[in-house]
Amino acid sequence: MGSNDRGTVEAKHQECLEAFVLRARRVEKHSLATDWDALVALTTMQISVIQLENGETRIRQEFPAEEREACDAAERAAAEHRDVR
User: Which sequence spans correspond to the domains of the chain?
Assistant: 3-80
pLDDT at residue 75 is higher than 90: no
Q: pLDDT exceeding 90 applies to what percent of the chain?
A: 26
Task: Give bridge partners of residue 57 from the DSSP assignment.
Answer: 51
Q: What percent of the chain has pLDDT over 70?
A: 75
Per-residue confidence (pLDDT) for residue 39, from 0 to 100: 74
> Is-contact 47 60, C-beta < 8 A?
yes
How confident is the model over 18-31, as a mean pLDDT? Answer: 84
Residue 55 has pLDDT above 90, yes or no: yes
Neighbours of 61 (CB within 10 A): 9
